[in-house]
Structure 1
Amino acid sequence: MYIYDEYDQRIVEERVAQFRDQTRRYLAGELTDPEFLPLRLQNGLYVQRYAPMLRIAIPYGLISSTQMRKLAFIAREYDKGYAHFSTRQNVQFNWPALEDVPDILAHLAEVQMHAIQTSGNCIRNTTTDQFAGVAADELVDPRPWCEIIRQWSTFHPEFAFLPRKFKIAVNGATEDRAAIGVHDIGLNVVKNDAGEIGFRVLVGGGLGRTPMVGSEINAFLPWQHLLSYLDAILRVYNRYGRRDNKYKARIKILVKALTPAVFAERVEAEWQHTKDGPTTLTEDELKRVATHFSAPAYETLRGDDDAYLAQRQADKGFNNWALRNVHAHKVPGYAAVTLSLKPTAVAPGDANDRQLDAAAELADRFSFGELRVTHQQNLVLADVRQADLHALWQAAKEQGFATPNIGLLTDIICCPGGDFCSLANAKSIPIAEAIQRTFDDLDYLHDIGDLDLNISGCMNACGHHHVGHIGILGVDKKGAEFYQVSLGGESGRNAAIGKILGPSFAAEEMPAVVTKVVDVYLEKRTPEENFIDTFQRIGMDPFKERVYAATH
């Protein structure tokens, strides 16, 4: 993973000292709330419903065991004993005291972590595939490109105060596990007929109040020009993006207003000023960054481990876990493993301080001391020997990490909702728990198969409900909390925005509503279909008829 040089470390430490003084001045009454607002946002600090919330950057989801232990320490010493992993592959603390935040940032700096640009109208954390570098279907490891983008975007003087927040995702595999279609900029690594590497560039994706799938503005961008082309996109956005209405300020609104073709023309015109300038990438620069992501010291193994295969045959519980939580690896004899943060009755994405320490220990023991944070709010050990999988499973069970539900209905993406967020219209976590309890039979879950269920507490869509196969949105109905359901969303290669099922439901109705939706799917599916396939084939009407006939 990327290691700070002396300049990186100095910049982060200077930022800590700067914010310490700003916080002191605010608490002393020398700075007003409006004056302090942009300063705290630049350091990842929000004011939530009950307490501040500090969002910490985990660049492209990659974190070391040392850094994970530091998060455990912060959870114990400065929070209520837990942390929350977000869909942006970052981590959040929901209960820090304002006066403690400078100390927290100082502790983070000790392990090359920070909260810079995790909030505010700037370029946020660049995200990617949680299996980057090890995926069997990978064309190119996207992590060096994410790091190049991170270095380009952090403290970029032109893009510190954009019309609105800005998110970039990079995918380097056949399957899109980075959800590039619903980002402000989505980059997909491609090869042309000559075998040269480049990027397919999508712009204008995003969720929130006006969900959209990004539009292609460049089918093949040579990799050497990546940064100058990104510069051009951001400059067009900075020049023409709306600043008079924050609900119409995202780049997706600009792309739609201009049309993708006209937007692409303006980017092309802007690009001509910088195309072959100082930001042009070289082989040497790419190699310099890529050396930080060299392969660990893999053993030379002949292929699938016989003992592992035999243990799967002998133990149904282990086999169920292997089916859902163990993933193919490009190196023979190895696997990637997802540690589920979605056991029933735990807020999705939450881990307590003991679990954070335990995850670090598992990483050291089984996966070269590294972990990944996923878009789905779980953790990944990317480099586990198949021979060690049974021991890992047993250790993971002891820590509550071994729920065999990855990709299943109870692997719910869920924002903190009204329990924490001052923007939320309704609670999200209790709805997730009620649905998990309803579908607590693992055999039934495995029979249902792949099904993404996403929950957001408001239209800001932090839970990505628009792209869930089943999406749930909290809405306010005359002061009461209700929930709107959508069906048919997708976040991968065929990204799509879900369609609203109909009128909203009370909280206590939601488990029954989801049950009816699943029942229709099970009745109508063909043997080879998952939920999204059946929905696309039969459409909305059968689901609507069943749900509303049974509920209203």
Structure 2
Amino acid sequence: MYQYTEFDKQFVRQRAAQYRDQLERWQAGTLGDDEFRPLRLQNGWYIQRYAPMLRVAVPYGEISSPQLRTLAKIAREYDRPDPELLRDAQEKQLALGEVPVPGGTPVVTKLKYGYGHFTTRTNVQFNWIPIEKSADVMELLASVNMHGIQTSGNCIRNITSDELAGIAPDEVADPRPFCEILRQWSSLHPEFSFLPRKFKIAVNGATEDRTALGWYDIGLQLHRNAAGELGFRVHVGGGMGRTPIISTAVREFLPWDQVINYVEACIRVYNRYGRRDNVWKARIKILVKAEGQRYIDQVEAEYKAIVEQDGGPHTITQAEYDRVAANFVAPERKSVRTGADKNLHEIVRADAEADPAYRRWIERNVQAHKNPELRAVTLSFKRLGQAPGDADASQLELAADLADRFSAGEARVTHIQNLLLPWVHVDDLPELYAAARKAGLARPNIGLLTDMIACPGGDFCSLANARSLPIAEAITQRYQDLDELFDLGDIDLNISGCINSCGHHHAGHIGILGVDKDGKEWYQVTLGGSNGSTLSGPATPGKVVGPSFSAAEVPEVIEAVLETYRRERIGADVDGKAETFIATLRRVGIEPFKAAANGARIKEKVEA
């Protein structure tokens, strides 16, 4: 992991002290609400439906065990709503009604507190911290080099990457040093602190796109040219929201040392010409789509001026790259087992290997590693009774313990809202499985239907049109049988509570979007979306299957779509595996699935 320098630490501590002064002046009435709002937003503090929401930055997903324990402390001691406020919120949620489950127990949202929430952009959010305690939390975060700086506002947000960065067998180059250099450059950048709209950058270093590059404002893909030189393919103008657009490749090859100069040119042109008169048309994707080649020409001209006239002030020297890269040297990893407990290890190993669930866990939760003696292991935070991506204080502490024992004290927040342990020795897999299963974090569902993405939705977010969590719970409750989940195979199911697409519904093989109709909750269903992975194919937005469905209809619709997949799929391909959902959908087309979805709606209405 990157080790913060004394300058880095001082930077974060001073920002926390500055925020305390701002908060106290606001509380004293010498700083108005309109003046305080941008200051708290720049530190990750939103005011949501019922209470403040804090977004904590986890740059490129790397998080240490002390940081996890600090998040646990915040969850336990600070994420606690006023009882009257919570009671009022619960009454409002109950009034919205239940979501029926075919053959199951109706689901109604039960608002909880005392937990963190992993986001799709590798941040961690808290939903119930009183604003009066916000400065205390900022100082606590600063004690372990964490903060909420630029997790909100119209600025360059958290730099993201692949959770397998630095360890993937298919990696061209480790993207983390470039992520860190970009983070340092963009933090409190004076020119880009008030962009037309928020701005997101992702860096991928592997041949497999595990970062969803096509959906980012700027996506940077490391690769080598014909001469073997390392550089970036630069994509600009991706984004979800009201207008889903896949980014455009504006440079096929950019020398690695020029990445900041070129990114600055891209953002400078956007800052100059991006729309500020309409929030729905302010993202860079709208500018790139509208201007096309003219935008690219402007960027190239700006880049040329930066390099030739200004002398390329942000050219990355080899010395600077080496300084940063030195923080990402792989730790020496040996098995935690010693000769004294060899017999115990053999007993644990034999028990694990005799357990069918262990074999499934190896298949779904354990991934190959650049070091053949190591593996990357995902801890699943997707289970019945817990919202996707939520982790309570005890779970955060358990994850920290597992990271210390099995992964050199390091974990990674994943795009799919789980935690990954990147440095697990092969010999330790049985012990890790036993410990993770005891902690409730070993469910072998990674990549399967119940490993879904969901935003907090209308239960917490003031922007949401509908609830996400009871829909996620209803589907999870319906599909608890592991045999059935394994039979259905790889399926990306993503749920967003509004058009802002925080649940990335556009990129889901099955996407669910909450919409408002006359003050009531309804849901659009999309099919065929992709994040750009090999399994899913090129990044593309899903297609709407018809008019929106009621909350009660959604579980029936999903069941109908999946039954259509079972009927239409090819039983086995050349490898002896059933055709995947997304492959079947693309082979037969959307119409059979659309008819099934709308048939489920008609059935529901007739029975009603």
- Interval of TM-score (by shorter of Structure 1 and Structure 2): over 0.9
How far residue 307 of structure 1 moved from its aligned partner, in angstroms, is: 9.6
Among 304, 312, 321, the alignment partner of 1:286 is 321
- Preserved CA contact (<8 Å) 1:189 1:199: yes
What is the distance in 2 between the residues matched to 1:50 and 1:491? Answer: 32
Match of 1:17 in 2: 17
What is the distance in 2 between the residues matched to 1:21 and 1:312? Answer: 54
How far residue 34 of structure 1 moved from its aligned partner, in angstroms, is: 1.1
- Preserved CA contact (<8 Å) 2:557 2:596: no
1:265 aligns to 2:291 (yes or no): no
Write the letter of the residue equivalent to 1:340: S
Moved more, 370-379 or 1-10: 1-10
How far residue 300 of structure 1 moved from its aligned partner, in angstroms, is: 9.9
Deviations 1:173-213 (A, max 9, x none): 11111111100000110100111100001000010111111
What is the distance in 1 between the residues matched to 2:390 and 2:114? Answer: 10
1:491 aligns to 2:527 (yes or no): no
Alignment of 1:69-468 (within 5 A): 69-79=69-79, 80-259=113-292, 261-275=293-307, 276-299=311-334, 313-468=353-508
* SS of 1:455 mapped into structure 2: strand
Deviations 1:351-397 (A, max 9, x none): 01011111000000000000000011000001111111111111111
What is the distance in 1 between the residues matched to 2:400 and 2:349? Answer: 27
How far residue 479 of structure 1 moved from its aligned partner, in angstroms, is: 0.9
- Preserved CA contact (<8 Å) 2:349 2:431: no
Match of 1:532 in 2: 582
How far residue 313 of structure 1 moved from its aligned partner, in angstroms, is: 4.8
* SS of 1:146 mapped into structure 2: helix
The CA RMSD over aligned residues, in Å, is: 1.6
What is the distance in 2 between the residues matched to 1:269 and 1:308? Answer: 63
How far residue 46 of structure 1 moved from its aligned partner, in angstroms, is: 0.1
How far residue 299 of structure 1 moved from its aligned partner, in angstroms, is: 4.0
What is the distance in 1 between the residues matched to 2:515 and 2:598? Answer: 18
Write the letter of the residue equivalent to 1:136: P
How far residue 314 of structure 1 moved from its aligned partner, in angstroms, is: 2.1
- Preserved CA contact (<8 Å) 1:308 1:389: no
1:513 aligns to 2:557 (yes or no): yes
Unaligned residue ranges in structure 2 (runs of 5+): 80-112, 337-344, 574-578, 603-608
Match of 1:41 in 2: 41
Count of residue pairs brought into register by the alignment: 548
How far residue 312 of structure 1 moved from its aligned partner, in angstroms, is: 6.2
Among 516, 522, 529, the alignment partner of 2:566 is 522
Match of 1:500 in 2: 544
- Preserved CA contact (<8 Å) 2:553 2:600: no
Write the letter of the residue equivalent to 2:215: V
Unaligned residue ranges in structure 1 (runs of 5+): none
How far residue 311 of structure 1 moved from its aligned partner, in angstroms, is: 6.1
How far residue 15 of structure 1 moved from its aligned partner, in angstroms, is: 1.1
What is the distance in 2 between the residues matched to 1:481 and 1:551? Answer: 15
What is the distance in 2 between the residues matched to 1:535 and 1:310? Answer: 41
Deviations 1:228-265 (A, max 9, x none): 00010010000000001111000000000101x22111
- Preserved CA contact (<8 Å) 1:307 1:387: no
How far residue 308 of structure 1 moved from its aligned partner, in angstroms, is: 9.6
Moved more, 203-212 or 27-36: 27-36
Deviations 1:333-362 (A, max 9, x none): 211000001011210000010111110000
- Preserved CA contact (<8 Å) 2:115 2:393: yes
Moved more, 215-224 or 521-530: 521-530
- Preserved CA contact (<8 Å) 2:121 2:415: yes
- Preserved CA contact (<8 Å) 2:510 2:527: yes
Deviations 1:28-57 (A, max 9, x none): 122221111111111100000000001011
- Preserved CA contact (<8 Å) 2:412 2:420: yes
Moved more, 389-398 or 497-506: 389-398
Match of 2:341 in 1: none
What is the distance in 2 between the residues matched to 1:24 and 1:211? Answer: 41
What is the distance in 2 between the residues matched to 1:169 and 1:56? Answer: 18
What is the distance in 2 between the residues matched to 1:286 and 1:308? Answer: 44
- Preserved CA contact (<8 Å) 2:213 2:219: yes
Deviations 1:529-551 (A, max 9, x none): 21111111111100111221232
- Preserved CA contact (<8 Å) 2:454 2:495: yes
What is the distance in 1 between the residues matched to 2:590 and 2:31? Answer: 54
- Preserved CA contact (<8 Å) 1:308 1:387: no
Write the letter of the residue equivalent to 2:452: I
What is the distance in 2 between the residues matched to 1:10 and 1:314? Answer: 52
Identity across matched positions, percent: 59
Deviations 1:82-140 (A, max 9, x none): 11111110001111111111110101111111110000000000100001111111111
What is the distance in 1 between the residues matched to 2:335 and 2:226? Answer: 33
- Preserved CA contact (<8 Å) 2:490 2:581: yes
Q: 1:398 to 1:313 in 2, by over 3 A?
A: closer
What is the distance in 1 between the residues matched to 2:300 and 2:166? Answer: 32
Write the letter of the residue equivalent to 1:192: N
Deviations 1:434-476 (A, max 9, x none): 0011111101100111000000000000000000000000001
Deviations 1:488-543 (A, max 9, x none): 00002411100001011111111110011111111111223211111111111001
* SS of 1:92 mapped into structure 2: strand
Q: TM-score, normalized by length of structure 1?
A: 0.97
